[in-house]
Chains A and B, each alone.
Chain A
Amino acid sequence: MSVTEQGLLERDKDTMTLNMGPQHPSTHGVFRVILEMDGEVVKTAEPEIGYLHTGIEKTCENKRYVHVIPITDRLDYLNPPGNNLAFCLSTEKLLDIEIPERAQALRVIMCELSRIASHLVWLGTHALDIGAMTVFLYCWREREMILDLNEEISGVRMMTSYIRVGGVAKDATRPWLDGIRDFIDYFPAKVDEYEKLLTKNPIWVDRTEGVGVFTREEAINWSLSGPALRASGVNWDIRKSKPYSGYDNYNFDVPVLKNGDIYDRYRVRVEEMRQSRIIIKQAMEKLPGGDFKTPDNKVSLPPRETLHTSMEALIHHFKLVSEGISVPKGETYVPIEGARGEVGFYIVSDGTNVPYRVKLRAPSFMAIPGMCKMMEGCYIADVVGIIGSIDIVMGEVDR
Chain B
Amino acid sequence: MAEYFYISLFAVVALVVVGALLALSTVLGPRNPSPQKMLPYECGIIPTEEAKGRYPVRFATIAMLFIIFDVEVVFMYPWAVALGELGLFGLVEMAIFIIILGIAYVYIWGRGGLEWD
Contacts and interface: CB of A to CB of B under 8 A. Distances in A.
Interface in A10-37: 11, 14, 16-17, 19-24, 32
Interface string B29-49: 000000000000011110101
B56 A38 contact: yes
B59 interface: yes
Given A39-B116, A40-B116, A21 B43 contact: yes
A148 to B, nearest CB: 36
A102 B73 CA distance: 68
A41 interface: yes
A39 B44 CA distance: 23
B58 A39 contact: yes
A77 interface: no
B8 to A, nearest CB: 40
B43 A22 contact: yes
Interface string A139-156: 000000000000000000
A46 to B, nearest CB: 13
A38 to B, nearest CB: 7
Interface in B13-71: 42-45, 47, 49, 52-56, 58-59
A346 interface: no
Contacts of A40: 58, 116
A39 B59 CA distance: 8
Contact of B43 (A17, A20, A39, A41): A20
A22 B44 CA distance: 7
Interface in B69-117: 116-117
Nearest to A51: B44
A32 B44 CA distance: 10
Contacts of B116: 39-41, 379
Contacts of B42: 19, 21
Nearest to B47: A19
A19 B43 contact: yes
A382 to B, nearest CB: 11
Contacts of A11: 54
A24 B43 CA distance: 6
Contacts of A24: 43
Contacts of A14: 54
B58 to A, nearest CB: 5
A23 B58 contact: no
Nearest to B43: A21
A11 B56 CA distance: 14
B56 A21 contact: no
Contact of A19 (B45, B58, B117): B45
Given A22-B44, A23-B44, A39 B56 contact: yes
A16 B52 contact: yes
Contacts of B54: 11, 14
Most chain A beta-carbon neighbours within 10 Å: one of B42, B43, B49, B116 = B43
Contacts of B52: 16
Interface of B: 42-45, 47, 49, 52-56, 58-59, 116-117
Given A19-B42, A21-B45, A32-B45, 18 more contacts: A9-B53, A11-B54, A14-B54, A17-B49, A21-B44, A22-B43, A22-B45, A23-B43, A23-B44, A24-B43, A38-B56, A39-B55, A39-B58, A39-B59, A39-B116, A40-B58, A40-B116, A379-B116
